[in-house]
Structure formats: C-alpha cells, structure tokens
Amino acid sequence: MSEVLKTSVPTLTPKDFATDQEVRWCPGCGDYSILAQVQKVMPGLGIPRENIVIISGIGCSSRFPYYMNTYGMHSIHGRATAIASGLKASRPELSVWVVTGDGDGLSIGGNHTMHLLRRNFDINILLFNNQIYGLTKGQYSPTSESKKVTKSTPFGSVDHPFNPLALAMGADATFIARTMDRDPKHLQQLLIRANQHKGASFLEIYQNCNIFNDGAFEIFTEKSSKPDETLFLEQGKPLIFGAQQNKGIKLDGFKPIVIELSEGHSPSDLWIHDERDFYKGQILVRMFEDPRIEGHLPRPFGVFYETDRPTYEDVLNLQIEEVVATKGKGDLDKLLRGNETWTIL
Amino acid sequence: MTRKEEVLQDVVIKFAGDSGDGMQLTGSQFTNNTALLGIDLATFPDFPAEIRAPQGTLPGVSGYQLRFSSDRVFTPGDECDVLVAMNAAALKSNLGSLKKGGKIIANTDGFDQKNLRLANYPDGVNPLLDDSLSNYEVIKMDVTKMTREALKDITMGVKEKDRAKNMFVLGFLYWMYNRNMDNTTTFIREKFGKKPEIMESNIKVLQAGFNYGDTTETFTTRFKVEKAKMEPGAYRSIMGNQALAYGLIAASQKSGLSLFLGSYPITPASDVLHELSRHKAFGVRTFQAEDEIAAITTAIGASYGGSLGVTTTSGPGMALKAEAMGLAVMLEIPLVICNIQRGGPSTGLPTKTEQSDLLQAYYGRNGECPMPVVAASTPSDCFDAVFEAVRISVEHMTPVIFLSDGYIANGAEPWKFPKSSDLPAIKVEFKKELAADEEKFQPYVRDEKLSRPWAIPGTAGFEHRIGGLEKQNITGNISYDPANHQEMVRIRQEKVDRVADYIPLQQLDSGPETGDILVLGWGSTYGAIKSAVSELQKEGVSVSHAHLRYLRPFPRNLGDVLRNFKKVLVPEINNGQLIKIIRDQFLVDAKGYNKIMGVPITKGEMKEQISTLLQK
C-alpha cells in the first residue's frame, strides 16, 4: 500500500472514520472490536479518507462498510474479492480493503479469494473467521471443526474444516497472517503490517460469535489458556510460548515439536522465525492442530509469511504504458478504417 | 484457347470440409477479396462444437457460406450455386442446399473408401462415380495430390504439406471468379512471416490452384460479379464480434471513460475478448476472470471506480451473472452486459445461433429488476447498437443488456465505417461539487431521467456507502420501510421506462405505414425479413417491416405502429419470446413464426410464412 497517495492528509481521528449509521451487530460481537481497531489504525496510515474503499460481501462481517466513513460497497455473497480486483485493476492509486468472513470468503466466494491471492492485487483482505454462519442463524461453516452440532448438522458435521492460511499459502499469497478480536494491540499491529505490504495481504482474524458459536476461540483468547495455547510470531525471534515463556518449537526434520527450555535446551536450539522463509512458512501454516486433541501444538499468531511479487495492477498498467510507448496512443479513425478498404463513388 | 467471361449478378458459394481443413480461413479470405472489389456480400460460418470432431465424419463438417452480389444482399442465401466439398461428408451434409444445376468442386482424395465409409455411404457407393450427381456440374480434382505435387521441392512432412490444400481450392476459385490474389498473399506473409517454410508452401499452393484453372483446358468460363450499387463512401469488411469490440472502444473514447472488460471465455463471445485485448493502445483493460461471476463483478468494481465496465458472454454465462446484474441495478451504476446468444438450454448448441435469451434478459433475475435491453440486427449494426447501449448505461446510470447472436457474431458484411468525428459524444458527469441547493451529498437523489449522481472513490467529501440491500430513497441508507420499498421498486421501473424519452421513435424499415401485414423482427432475423419483404413488395404484396433495436423500453410509438396493421407477424429463432412481450404490452394478436434449428431463418421460409398468414 506504500504507493497510495499520501498528499496533504489532514490530521484525522478514529471518529472521522465513523458514520452516522447505528452499528447493528449483536451486543458482545467480536466485530465491534475489529471495527474499533480499524478506526483507530486508519488515521495513522496517512491515506486520505476519500482514497480508501472498503468492499464486503454478505454475512455479519460484511456490514462493516456501512460503519466506515470512507468509500464502501456492501456487495453480494462471496464476490467482494472480485469486485475489489476490478476496482484495483482500474484505479491502482486507491487503498482497497476487503472485509469478508469464513462463509463469504472461503465457501461461496472461495474461488475469487484464491484467484485474488494468486494474481497478487495490492488489496488487504480481512477475513473474519468465527467458524459459523451467523447471519443465517447458526449453520456450520467451512472452518467449523468436524463433528460440530449445528442447526444443519444435528448429528454432527461430517465436513473436514479448511485451514485458511494453508489455503492462502497454496494460492501463493504474498502476505499471510493471523490475529484475534480479543487482542486489540496485536490486531492493530497486524492491520498496519497488512497495509504496509505491497501485494495481496491475507489477514485471518479470529472473531467470536457470542450468539451462535460462543467461545470457539476461548482456548486462544482466555487469560488462563492463552499463554500455553498460542504462539506469537516475531521476526528474527525464536518460537517461544507458555505462561513462563518456558516452551519452544524446534524442527525435528520437517516436523515441529515442543521442547521445554528448562530441560537443558536453550533458545538458540529453537526455530527462529523468518517471515521470508518460503519453506518454513509452509510448515508454519500447517501448525493447525485440533486443540481438542491431546498433545497438540500451540496455534501461531502474527505474520507467517511475506514475500515480494509484482502486483497484478502494476503489471497490467505497465503493459498498457509499454504498448502506448511503442505503438502510440490509439487512433480511433485508424482502427475503424482497418487495413483494407474500398470506396464507392 | 479462348475463354469466355460470364457476368453474374448473385453467387452463393459454400466452402465445406473437415473441421481441420481450414474452411473458415478459406471462406474469410475469399470474403475479404470480394469485399475489396465493392461487391456486396453476406456470410454464414457454420462449424461444429468440437475443435477437431472425428475426421471425415458428418458431425465434423465445417462450413462457410458466402453470398456476393452486384445487388444489395442481406442474407447469405437460401441455396448455394457452388459447393466446395473437401470430402464425402462435406458433400453429403450440404448437397441438400445446392441448387439444381449448381457446381460441385470435389476433392477426389476426400472420396476414398475410408472417407465414404465415415460419411455413411453404403459399401461400394461413390457419388462421384455413379450418376447420382447428374443434376449438377461436378468438377473433380485431386486437391491433395496436386498440393503435394506443387510442394515436391519443399522439404516438409506430408502432413504439413497437406495442410495447405485449402489454398489450392482458394487459388482455383480466385481464378474462376477472375480475381487478383494480393490480399491473400499479403495475409499469408503476415500470418506466417516467422515460419518461412509454411509461408512459402501456402503461397505456392495458392498459385498452383490458380494456375490449374488457367492451364487446364476443361475450364472454359470465368465469372465476374460487378460492384454493387451501394451508398457512396469508404467501406471495409467487418464481423459482428469485431464491430462490437470497436463499438465499445469508440464509446470509451467518446465518453472519456476508460474501458474495462471482465470476461470468461465462452463460445461464441470469446472473440470480443480476443479483439479488445489487442487494443491496449486505447487504454483498454481486459481481464480474463476465473469465472463468469468474477467477469461481471470485476466490471462492477471498475464501473464503481469510474471506468466503463463491460462484460461479454453467452447464455450459460448470463445465467451465472444474474445475481450480479441485480446488484448493478441496486447500485444504479453503468455496466454493459453483452450476450452473444447461442442455442440453449444448458450447454445446448454452443456453435449454433438462437435468439432464445430475450426473456432471460427481460426477466431473468430475482426481484423486480428491470434493465434496458438493446439488440443488434447485423454484423456491422453491433457497432451502433453497443454504442447506444453504452450511451444509455452511462447517461441513465443503469446496467444495460446488449444482445447479439452467433450468426451476427461470426457473420461478415461490408461496413460503411463512420469517422470518429461523426460519432456523438456520450455525456458523463462525475459528481465533484455540491449544487447551490444541496446541503450534503445524497447518493440516491435523482435528476429528470431519475438517474443518480456518480461520485467515484478519490473524490473528497463525497465518501458514501452503497450496496445490494434496499435503500432509502435519496439518502441511500439501508431501509426496510415497506412504503419505501414499494416506492423504490416503482422508481427503478420508471427510470428504465423513461429511457424511452431518449431513444428514437420506431421507424418502418420498408413498406406502407398502414396495411395488411407488418413483420416485426429483432436481432439477426433482419436480413431474411428484409429480403423476403422486399421481394413480396415487388410482387405487389402489401407488407411492411419494422425491426427493433430497443427492446426495453420499446420506442414510445411502437403500439401505434403495430395497430396500423391488420396482422402482425413476429418471426424469431426461439419458441416465441418477443411475441409474448408484445402481446402483453400492446394486447395485439400477433402471430409467431418460430424456427429453432440452430440456423438462421431463410428468405424462402420467411416469404412463405408471410404469404400464408396473409391468406388466413
């Protein structure tokens, strides 16, 4: 997003990004925190409000644009990523954000999500993952854990859940990260990182749906379990976690294993996080074990992987410039006349 | 020896061969050559859905029909004067449309035992050897053998050499119709410039075909068709999809909006994507999307950003785009959706023509979702019709559906192309400032056309949110108010209806303004109706022809036009779609003629239908 126009930006406050529309999410919804953090971060990005566009699909999260005083579109189910792609291709100077959910972005709109990532549009995708269909009142989603009992699965879901970050990795996303609604500081940091990245940023945000899937991420967000169940990634730092910061991740061949630092291991034995390491990134996104299973690995949060690749819109527009430079600007009369004409007198 | 030259008025040639025989190329080369002489023409390419259907079989036959004349022509002709049959299957599947006494140019090599069997001739039967073709003039030539002979000095595989055999036939026809071959040699040089062997072999074989006619004493007559009496001016040959692409570029230039095409390849619309992707010098952005839905939604995104968003497709793609069209109706932003219709339903007949998506264009979306519909009637008319579609879309802030079909898309005709300075400007105003009486920006406030302001991202002070939910009139805020919904449904309909104030009144194409019968057509039936009506008029029949470009809304006077006639006939290549709308809107007891065979209605059929209805 670094090349977005930053000229003559008046000092704005989070309030400048709020609209006069009443926010209508259920009380206690994780979306409130995400909205607050986005509004807090936006003034500091240095982007004029009129150059920011937020596009969403359908679902609870997709009401987001109505509450942001920028340009915005609440579109149709699953297509925000495609609409954003068309906008960014034709208006590369805009700062384009997609707000989507696990159903919108991974189920009905899964196709467009992966193609946006593959093409590497400079767009920030905020995927609110609550592992449930909230707006339709409680059916399982493509990220719901297997065997989940919901309105549409009274005997338990037989679906295997998606691993959204592994999906992004498979689609060659150039920025892959995870954060959570209950950690405002971390969420703010990662919003800033996603915005800084030039290329498609895929930020998965664990978001609690307190009505239909309350506590889905409790194990990662509650003070009592968070230290042992989560692993916060920091560039250049060893993978350490635990209430006493006494546990770490080591690579045993290609397999990440947990070791106790007290048992004669030192931090230098541990996996040192490198966001730019493509191969380690593959392993990191696969650290996605079901926390219900004994001996599971902690769930990583932070920036998993980042790389630089030319963006679609830059290459597209460069191609146009090159053609104009070599062939000259199009001449309509020449086009209509073509190469072979005849005249009737 | 002396050779005669015979002047003909009207000739129909059908080039038919295996789908790998290069018949489309041969036909289009002869077409361009004909056009350059100022002879009027119409074409009908007809090919199988399979890229390479089993060689030699009946389903694998690819045909290209060309009619050229010193008179004006509007159809590719009901029957052929000359049939080029590269193999037995090509003869068998096209003999029915050859005139008695017509010529058959047969490649004898394509009539060997294997080819005869593949074409389902009984054992031992070869139509070139028995007297079954005695009603025709059969010109037999071993094209394969002579092609190989012409290339005997070139070191190439036999398979590669055989690929040039269509050039032999083309060369021979150039001789037969007394043509200069320069355009084709130039074409070959440009196309194969990087492959000198292929270039050389094609030119050699083309020349060999010409020389064969010249030196073989069996052919004593050459034919000539004079220039047609057409309106003075500069002409070129144009195909429908090409004209459509040019129309979009012209509209982009005339509106000052940069053109964005979101498209997913589909027959018979892909050529529009191909054509537009070549014109980056006009700032055209083409985006080959991951699917039909992304094709239209990327175009919506581009439109939202202030580009001219366009998507091109055919019937199955239209079905997939329906929800997004509804979004565009709610957003009230410009968008042009081009449907190059083909035979349906489902995958249907991908390479055959049909007009069966009119009701889909009218009604094929959830909710009350009106959109203007514009249709092209001939290949070159695609240019003007799509230009109009863009004008309506931009000036009225509404998505517009443009309808063409496979017949128009792939057909060619002479086009008196316009000068860019003669094309009207398309008015676009982005909202950048508040008017004196405006306190704040209201995204759904309306002008006299009922269209709303277009404020694009990047415009400070005009930040606003739009979406697919029902919105409050004027403010654009989400609204579930019952009365507001009814009002918005009414406004969206009224807005489309008011387009009628900004389009021309319906004119008759020919015939008296009142009378016994009016033939009311739309789209690609134009040529057949025009030709049939014109012949009947010459025979003294009172018959008139009106052809609709604006299908939704209709021109304001259409009801009056219809009521001036005792009978109204609506011919369509569908099961009766326009007729339903006409009967619904005007309570006119129109009669339909419906041919749904994947091919155009012929002039003969049309004449018969008109005469029959007149006698009832």
Give yes or no for B408 touching A (CB within 8 A).
Answer: no
Instruction: Give the pLDDT score at B218.
Output: 75
| Residue-wise burial string across B217-235, b where 16 or more C-beta atoms lie within 10 A, e elsewhere | eeeeebbebeebebeeeeb
- Whether B579 maps to a domain, the answer reads yes
Residues B331 and B250 in one domain: yes
In angstroms, what separates the C-alpha of B256 from chain A's closest C-alpha? 13
Dihedral of the alpha carbons of A251, A257, A260, A263, in degrees to the nearest 10: -70
CATH code, domain with B17: 3.40.920.10
Rounded mean pLDDT of A309-315?
Answer: 98
* B106 and B176 both lie in a single domain: yes
B251, B363: one domain:
yes
The tokens describing A184, both together, are: 């405002």
pLDDT at position B46: 85
Q: Does residue B254 belong to any structural domain of this protein?
A: yes
Radius of gyration of chain A (CA): 23
pLDDT tens string B291-304: 999 999 999 999 99
Claim to verify: residue B212 and residue B289 sit in the same structural domain: no
Q: Domain residues for B584?
A: 515-615
Please answer yes or no on whether A336 and B246 come within 8 Å at the CB atom.
yes
For residues B210 and B245, membership in a common domain is answered with: no
Tell me the pLDDT band of A152, cut-offs 50, 70 and 90. Answer: very high
Q: In order of start, what are the domains of chain A with their CATH numbers?
A: 14-237+273-312 (3.40.50.970), 238-271 (no CATH)
Which residues fall within 8 angstroms of residue A52, CB to CB, at 6 or more apart? A42, A68, A70, A71, A94, A95, A97
Report CB contact under 8 Å: A50, B462. Answer: yes
**Distance from first CA to last CA of chain A, Å, rounded?**
59
The count of domains in chain B is 3
- List the single residue in B293, B459, B462 with the smallest CB-CB distance to A82: B293
Q: Each residue of B538-593: pLDDT tens digit?
A: 999 999 999 999 999 999 999 999 999 999 999 999 999 999 999 999 999 999 99
* pLDDT bracket for residue A4 (50, 70, 90): low
Arithmetic mean of pLDDT, B189-211: 94
Give the orientation angle of helix B196-215 with respect to helix B165-176, to 10 degrees: 40
B418 touches chain A (CB under 8 A): yes
- A262 pLDDT tier (thresholds 50, 70, 90): confident
Nearest by CB: A89 against B36, B285, B323 = B285
Query: Is residue B296 located within the same domain as residue B331?
Result: yes
Q: Which of B327, B481, B165, B430 is nearest to A75 (CA)?
A: B327
Contact state of B457 with A69 under an 8 Å Cβ cutoff: no
Token duo for residue B535 = 């012949």
Q: What is the pTM of this model?
A: 0.94
- Asked whether residue A105 carries a pLDDT value surpassing 80, the answer given is yes
Q: pLDDT averaged over chain B?
A: 95
- The answer to whether residue B553 is domain-embedded is yes
Helix B292-304, helix A80-90: angle, nearest 10: 50
The region of weakest confidence among A339-343, B63-67, B478-482 is: A339-343
Q: Which of B35, B294, B460 sits opposite A50 (nearest CB)?
A: B460
Q: Which residue has the tokens 């155009």?
A: B600
Of B418, B434, B460, the position where a domain reaches its end is B418
Domain-embedded: residue B495: no
Q: Lowest-pLDDT range, A76-80, A175-179, A340-344, B349-353?
A: A340-344
Chain A residues in contact with B301 (beta carbon < 8 A): 55, 82-90
The pLDDT value recorded for residue A9 is 58
- Residue B557 placed within a domain: yes
**Can you point out the beta strands (E) in chain A?**
52-56, 71-74, 95-101, 123-129, 175-180, 201-206, 230-232, 240-241, 247-252, 255-260, 299-306, 342-344
B-chain CB neighbours of A335 within 8 Å are 246, 249, 279, 282
Nearest neighbour of B36 by CB, restricted to A71, A115, A342: A342
Q: Pull the structure tokens for residue A103.
A: 């159903």
pLDDT band at residue A287, thresholds of 50, 70 and 90? very high
Q: How many CA atoms lie within 13 A of A70 on its CB side?
A: 26
pLDDT digits (tens, 9 = 90+) for A194-246: 999 999 999 999 999 999 999 999 999 999 999 999 999 999 999 999 999 99
Residue after which a domain boundary falls, among B225, B248, B281:
B225
pLDDT of B367? 98
A123-129 and A201-206 as β-strands: parallel, antiparallel, unpaired? parallel
Task: Provide the pLDDT for residue A1.
Answer: 44
Read off the CATH number of the domain in which B604 is found.
3.40.50.920
Is residue B303 in some structural domain?
yes
Q: Among the three residues B225, B259, B281, which one is the final residue of a domain in this structure?
A: B225
- Same domain as B206, residue B269: no
Residue B453: is the preceding peptide bond cis (ω within 30°)?
A: no
- Residue B408 and residue B337 share a domain: yes
Residues B308-331, mean pLDDT to the nearest whole number: 98
Exposed/middle/buried for A228, CB within 10 Å: 0-12, 13-18, 19+? middle
Do residue B221 and residue B242 come from a single domain? no
Please give the span between the terminal C-alpha atoms of chain B, in angstroms, as a whole number.
58
Report in angstroms the alpha-carbon separations of B478 from B51, B465, B487. 50, 10, 14
Using an 8 Å CB-CB cutoff, list chain B residues near A336. 246, 250, 417-420
Share of chain A above pLDDT 70, in %: 97
Q: How many CB pairs (< 8 A) connect A and B?
A: 202
Chain A nearest-CA distance from B320, in A, is 12
Mean of pLDDT values over B73-98? 95
Mean pLDDT of B223-235: 93
- Give the best residue of A12, A77, A90 to mutate against chain B (max B CB count within 10 A): A90
Cα distance from B444 to chain A (closest Cα, Å)? Answer: 14
Q: Is B299 on the interface with A (CB under 8 A)?
A: yes
Which B residues in the span 16-55 are in contact with A, Cβ-Cβ below 8 Å?
Answer: 32, 35-38
For the cut 80, the answer to whether the pLDDT of residue B273 exceeds it is yes
Whether residue B476 is contained in a domain is answered as no
CATH number, position B249: 3.40.50.970
Both B218 and B270 in a single domain? no
* Beta carbons of A73 and B331 less than 8 Å apart: yes
Do residue B36 and residue A340 have CB atoms under 8 angstroms apart?
A: yes
Closest residue in chain A to residue B456, using alpha carbons only:
A71
Q: Tell me the pLDDT band of A8, cut-offs 50, 70 and 90.
A: low
B521/B412 same-domain check: no
Q: Is the pLDDT of residue A44 over 90?
A: yes
Here the tokens at position B547 are 């052809």
Q: Are B252 and B258 in contact (CB under 8 A)?
A: yes
Confirm whether B67 is domain-assigned: yes
Share of chain B above pLDDT 90, in %: 94
B422-479 pLDDT tens trace = 999 999 999 999 999 999 999 999 999 999 999 999 999 999 999 999 999 999 999 9
> Closest by alpha carbon to A48, among B463, B432, B454?
B463
Task: Indicate the helix (H) or strand (E) that contains B301.
Answer: helix B292-304
Cβ neighbours of B422 in A, within 8 Å: none
Same domain, B151 and B248: no
